[in-house]
Structure 1
Amino acid sequence: MTSSAASCLLFLRMKALEEAELCFPQLLNSSCRKAMRPHSVSMLIYIVLSSISLLTVTLNLLVIISISHFKQLHTPTNLLLLSLAVSDFFVGFLMLFQIMLIDGCWLLGDLMCILYNVLDFIITSASIGTMVLISVDRYVAICEPLHYPNKVTPKRVLVCVCLCWIGSAFLHSLLLNNNLVQPGRYKSCIGECVIVINYIAGLADIVLSFIGPVTVIIVLYMRVFVVAVSQARAMRSHVAAFSLKSSVTVTAKRSEMKAARNLGVVIVVFLLCICPYFSVAHTGQDTLRNASSAAFVICLFYLNSCLNPVIYAFFYPWFRKAIKLIVTLKILQTGSCQTNIM
């Protein structure tokens, strides 16, 4: 083989290797490069994330059907859980787009990129807002039990949930306005999905969507915890002297405190999953893409949406009973919405 032929062959091999690492091989000068990793590792990531996505969508769909179908579950607290399940349901779908970005290539175009990111921001913000509403609900139920039936009604909760979602959509439409007006304006190569938020907008986002709500959640639940402990001590010290009527009141208080404990578990798990993500995401524009902790915090963030229904199944007998009725298709029977599910 002549030296010219060998050089030509080497050039073709290098070109083929270069094209194999590009998102769009036909665009040699402008295409982004793929994130190269062993095939077995890529397949494992795809399988794990796809399984989490499917499980998240399925479990949260069961929660949505349960609370929507059975009229006995149409309580203010359960309406908040319904809002949380809706956001978690959409997170399961958004995971499919995150799976597409595993190799570093976005193949759906600039418009879909910005829509994906906007939806991600809105859903995350709405989830945190719903957690704030859950904290307020438990605060009123434990700290002001006599006023709870009048202050917290299904209609008022529904209005608050709608305002939470509308406010989240409005806020992030403003914060991401530059990206929405001209999708793809900040990308450096074809196949990249990136958005840029200026310093002021980023600061407003982290204060309104994370620091502020999380502070409110922690303060309210600390207050709930203190009041719940004092009430538990009072009930233990006076339980022997209670009349039948008082016993009913004690049972109601215990039920409210049990609900506060169960929802407290949901909130603690939520904070443990979301705080690392926000901490890493706001330390720099490219931190999530380059840091070694990126994969962990992203998976933890998405895993929370799958864990919430599991927590319900563990703590709430009504959810387990509802699942049986749904899986056996008994909810299709006439009058099944009136079933005693509690």
Structure 2
Amino acid sequence: MADLIWVIYTGFEVLIAVACCLGNVLVVCAVCVGIRDSLREPTFCFLVSLAVADLLVGVAAVPLAVLLDGWVSLSPKLCLLLSCVVLVLTQASVLSLLAIAMDRYLKLHKALRYKAIVTQRRTWLSVSVCWMLSCLLGFTPLLGWHNHPSTDSTNTSSFISSQCTFLSVISLPFMVYFNFLACVMAPLLIMTFLYITIFWSLQKRLKDSCPQVKQSLLRERRLAWSLSLVLILFASCWIPLHLMNCLLLIQGPQAVTQGTLYAGILLSHANSAVNPVVYAYRIPRIKLAYGQIWSRLFVKLGFCCGNKQVQQPITNNQIIHK
């Protein structure tokens, strides 16, 4: 039975990894190539950062999750290093989402000074800081907060290869108190406050605005809803796994069955595959860029006749707001 559960789990992980890679490559191409001057807009820069993190989940985190399930023998230090890579990618997603929320907040509440404050240089600097902080926070277990004790030169037992699992090297107190409460829940609460403030402010302004301004505010509200949906999905997919870690810490290994733990891991990884679908349905510019990319691909493969118009990059005049 345990082998059957593992086979089913591995099969779903493979499907999720493929979906992560294809979907998020499409997002990066849509933003960087399909939408003209999109990388001059902070929101799209942070979306690319989030898409890259999701892409790396498919490329690295999912394969590592399968390998770090007791199926390979590694030295504890190498096992710890590979386990930390998963934490880095999760943290990069959280910080990218936080950067998006702060950008939308500034766009609404500092409208007159927004372009002066959020320059292209500062935007890319913010993306770099997000990834550097992600590495710092994700690799924290390497500094000593892990299950394997530090050793001196006279003790060589730590270098002997052993069965490698994530929780054999990553400390549960670290996962609960530091990774979950400090690195995930704290940013999620900040983002929740920012979006509540954004929607409350938009609702007030819509009541007192002229028709021309109202159209702009409605577009802003639609985009805010789309981005907040990405945040809600992230929380819904990741919090169950973190709650399982809390149960494991409080009640021990018997608190969560292996099948339930696998389901939590699959749900967390599925989040990276779902985001490109959300962008397609909720953000018109990305949806239009997706269509152009598929049209070009079909033309190259000879499935349909070329259309010169679809080969043009998307401009602001081509955006259709629903």
SS in 2 for 1:192: strand
Equivalent residue, structure 1, for 2:197 = 223
The answer to which of 283-292 and 153-162 deviates more is 283-292
Q: Is the 8 A contact 2:46 2:127 kept in 1?
A: yes
1:163 to 1:290, Cα distance in 2 relative to 1, 3 A:
same
SS in 2 for 1:191: strand
Q: Which residue type is aligned with residue 73 of structure 1?
A: S
Partner Cα separation in structure 2 for residue 269 and residue 201 of structure 1: 21
Q: Is the 8 A contact 2:247 2:255 kept in 1?
A: no
SS in 1 for 2:162: coil
Q: Which residue type is aligned with residue 326 of structure 1?
A: I
Partner Cα separation in structure 2 for residue 185 and residue 197 of structure 1: 19
Partner Cα separation in structure 1 for residue 299 and residue 127 of structure 2: 26
Partner Cα separation in structure 2 for residue 45 and residue 172 of structure 1: 25
What is the Cα deviation at residue 298 of structure 1? 1.2
Equivalent residue, structure 2, for 1:73 = 38
Partner Cα separation in structure 1 for residue 254 and residue 113 of structure 2: 49
Of 199, 215, 218, which residue of structure 2 is paired with 1:254? 218
Partner Cα separation in structure 2 for residue 331 and residue 220 of structure 1: 43
Partner Cα separation in structure 2 for residue 186 and residue 198 of structure 1: 20
Q: Which residue type is aligned with residue 252 of structure 1?
A: S
Partner Cα separation in structure 1 for residue 246 and residue 159 of structure 2: 19
Q: Is the 8 A contact 1:142 1:257 kept in 2?
A: no
Aligned pair 1:291/2:250, yes or no? no
1:291 to 1:185, Cα distance in 2 relative to 1, 3 A:
farther
Equivalent residue, structure 2, for 1:155 = 121
Aligned pair 1:191/2:159, yes or no? no
Partner Cα separation in structure 1 for residue 56 and residue 157 of structure 2: 26
Aligned pair 1:170/2:139, yes or no? no
5 Å matches for 1:43-58?
43-58=7-22
When normalised by structure 2's length, the TM-score is: 0.78
1:281 to 1:288, Cα distance in 2 relative to 1, 3 A:
farther
Give the aligned CA root-mean-square deviation in angstroms.
3.5
Q: Which residue type is aligned with residue 37 of structure 1?
A: A
Of 311, 319, 325, which residue of structure 1 is paired with 2:286? 319
Partner Cα separation in structure 1 for residue 312 and residue 50 of structure 2: 22
Equivalent residue, structure 2, for 1:37 = 2
When normalised by structure 1's length, the TM-score is: 0.74
SS in 2 for 1:106: strand
1:300 to 1:251, Cα distance in 2 relative to 1, 3 A:
same
1:200 to 1:105, Cα distance in 2 relative to 1, 3 A:
closer
Of 28, 32, 36, which residue of structure 2 is paired with 1:64? 28
Equivalent residue, structure 2, for 1:118 = 84
Which structure's relative contact order is higher, taking Cα pairs within 8 Å and 6+ residues apart? Answer: 2
What is the Cα deviation at residue 324 of structure 1? 3.3
1:182 to 1:64, Cα distance in 2 relative to 1, 3 A:
farther
Partner Cα separation in structure 2 for residue 321 and residue 95 of structure 1: 30
Partner Cα separation in structure 2 for residue 201 and residue 169 of structure 1: 16
Identical residues among aligned pairs (%): 21
Q: Which residue type is aligned with residue 227 of structure 2?
A: L
Partner Cα separation in structure 2 for residue 105 and residue 99 of structure 1: 8
SS in 1 for 2:244: helix
Q: Is the 8 A contact 2:31 2:44 kept in 1?
A: yes
Partner Cα separation in structure 2 for residue 101 and residue 168 of structure 1: 21
Partner Cα separation in structure 1 for residue 171 and residue 108 of structure 2: 40
What is the Cα deviation at residue 80 of structure 1? 0.7
Partner Cα separation in structure 1 for residue 221 and residue 208 of structure 2: 13
What is the Cα deviation at residue 284 of structure 1? 3.7
5 Å matches for 1:204-283?
204-235=178-209, 238-239=210-211, 247=212, 249-283=213-247
Cα displacement string for residues 299-326 of structure 1 (whole angstroms, at most 9, x for unaligned residues): 1111111111010011123223322333
What is the Cα deviation at residue 275 of structure 1? 1.7
What is the Cα deviation at residue 287 of structure 1? 5.9
Q: Is the 8 A contact 2:53 2:93 kept in 1?
A: yes
